[in-house]
């Protein structure tokens, strides 16, 4: 079955610290992968996407993600977190079926 797993429901980091949010997928081939962010009361905004090529993908707001086929992972990273990064983060994949399959999300809290 096709699925996206985000093992961490809730993460708290200090402002200025580094961040890594985990994402694992289950699919028989290489999917197209996305990270979205949702601030309270807002819709989802695309941070970055991986279709093919370089496995390290740069996105907006200083985020990057690395695709690792051997681990079926697409983890999101940021070297230094800002208070404005507090939000919910969703990993998603597109297998060409006209739909995105989303993970259940990771809520990020940033401590001053």
Partner 1 sequence: ETGVTQTPRHLVMGMTNKKSLKCEQHLGHNAMYWYKQSAKKPLELMFVYSLEERVENNSVPSRFSPECPNSSHLFLHLHTLQPEDSALYLCASSQGDSLNEQFFGPGTRLTVL
Instruction: Tell me, by CB under 8 A, how many residues bind partner 1.
Output: 25
What would the 3-class secondary structure string for 66-110 be?
Answer: EEEHHHCEEEEEECCCCHHHCEEEEEEEECCCCCEEECCCEEEEE
Q: Binding segment for partner 1 among 13-21, 57-65, 72-80, 103-111 (CB under 8 A)? A: 103-111
Here the tokens at position 56 are 């390290």
Of 13 and 100, CB closest to partner 1: 100
Of 81 and 90, CB closest to partner 1: 90
Dist CA 101 CA 86 (whole Å) = 23
Report, in Å, the least distance between residue 99 CB and partner 1: 5
Dist CA 111 CA 72 (whole Å) = 31
Closest to 76 (Cα-Cα) out of 96, 51, 50: 50
Q: Which of the residues 39 through 98 are near partner 1 (CB under 8 A)?
A: 41-46, 49, 51, 90, 92, 94, 96-98
- Among residues 105, 106, 108, 110, the one that binds partner 1 under rule CB under 8 A: 105
3-class secondary structure, 60: helix
Report, in Å, the least distance between residue 4 CB and partner 1: 7
The residue ranges that bind partner 1 (CB under 8 A) are 4, 32, 34, 36, 41-46, 49, 51, 90, 92, 94, 96-105
């Amino acid at each position: 079955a096709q699925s996206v797993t985000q093992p961490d429901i809730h993460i708290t980091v200090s402002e200025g610290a580094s961040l890594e949010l985990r994402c694992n997928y289950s699919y028989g081939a290489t999917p197209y992968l996305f990270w979205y962010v949702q601030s309270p009361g807002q819709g989802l905004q695309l941070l970055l996407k991986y279709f093919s090529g370089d496995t390290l993908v740069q996105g907006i707001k200083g985020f990057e993600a690395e695709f690792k086929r051997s681990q079926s992972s697409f983890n999101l990273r940021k070297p230094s977190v800002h208070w404005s990064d507090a939000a919910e983060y969703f990993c998603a994949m597109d297998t060409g079926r006209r739909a995105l399959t989303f993970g259940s999300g990771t809520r990020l809290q940033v401590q001053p």
